[in-house]
Amino acid sequence: MSTPKTTMADPVHLTVPLGEPDTMAGCGECLGIAVTRANARSVGDYSKVSDANVVLRTHLREGHGAE
């Protein structure tokens, strides 16, 4: 058989894809970031959604001691 191999290797992730971080209830900063993320998604600005997730993860880690 000479069928070319078209299957590509899995992409290398520079950051582990964790899905979207959750906000902590009662935290205004979490809420603010979540609102920014929701607004960005509502206008289709997915790079801004991604940025908001990075900001939120950093805040969760530094502000709430999350992993």
Q: Which of these segments, 10-18, 21-29, 35-43, 45-53, binds Zn ion (CB under 5 A)?
A: 21-29
* Contact status: 30 vs Zn ion (CB under 5 A): yes
- Does 27 sit near Zn ion (CB under 5 A)? yes
Distance between CA atoms of residues 17 and 22, nearest Å: 14
Q: Which stretch binds Zn ion (CB under 5 A): 9-17, 34-42, 46-54, 55-63?
A: 55-63
**Sequence-distant (≥ 6) Cβ neighbours of residue 37 within 8 angstroms:** 20, 48, 49, 52, 53, 56
Nearer to Zn ion, 29 or 51 (CB): 29
